[in-house]
Amino acid sequence: MPLFDLPMSILFLLFLWLFILIGFYPAWKRAAAKFRRLREARGKRQKGGPGVAAMPAEDSAARPSRQLDDFEIIILRRLAQGDGKGLSRRRLIAELHLEPPVVSQALRTLQMRELVVEVRVLPFGTHFMLSRKGHEFAVAQGFIPSILEV
């Protein structure tokens, strides 16, 4: 019995099944790629690969006067120029055109130094803003102009 001699309802169901599979294929590939990246990142963190913080917390507490690197300065300056509500990680990545791991590492380091605090805005969203210590540091560095009354 050739394929085209089947009843129209079976051909329609076969077409519909094929159409659904082809439609879900791109979403399935994206989900599989995202899962693979998460699994690789977890493996790097467990093995101590490049995803691990370069400076442990006890080292930052022992040496609080260590100079900030360029990415930390860029992010601190952008947060200082903000409106005080803070910025999300996604917005920092988009506005500064930096890679997501670089921004995450710099924010983590700034949080360890207590220059930046993480604030929950929505149930699923977080913003980063300057702490009191970070604000004082930004004023001292000239990121935020201070107006003196005479």
- DSSP, residue by residue, 48-108: T-TTS-SS-HHHHHH-TTPPP-HHHHHHHHHHHHS-SS-B-HHHHHHHHT--HHHHHHHHH
Rounded to the nearest integer, the mean pLDDT of the chain is 81
Give every CB contact of residue 128 below 8 A, 6+ residues apart in sequence: 79, 86, 87, 88, 89, 92, 107, 116, 117, 118, 119
pLDDT, tens digit (0-9, with 9 covering 90-100), for 124-139: 788 999 999 998 898 8
pTM, full prediction: 0.53
Copy the structure tokens of residue 81.
Answer: 């120029």
CA pair distance 13, 9, nearest whole angstrom: 6
> For the chain, which residues score pLDDT lower than 70?
1, 3-4, 47-66, 148-150
Q: What is the pLDDT of residues 101-125, one digit of tens each?
A: 999 999 999 999 999 999 887 777 8
Distance between CA atoms of residues 84 and 27, nearest Å: 38
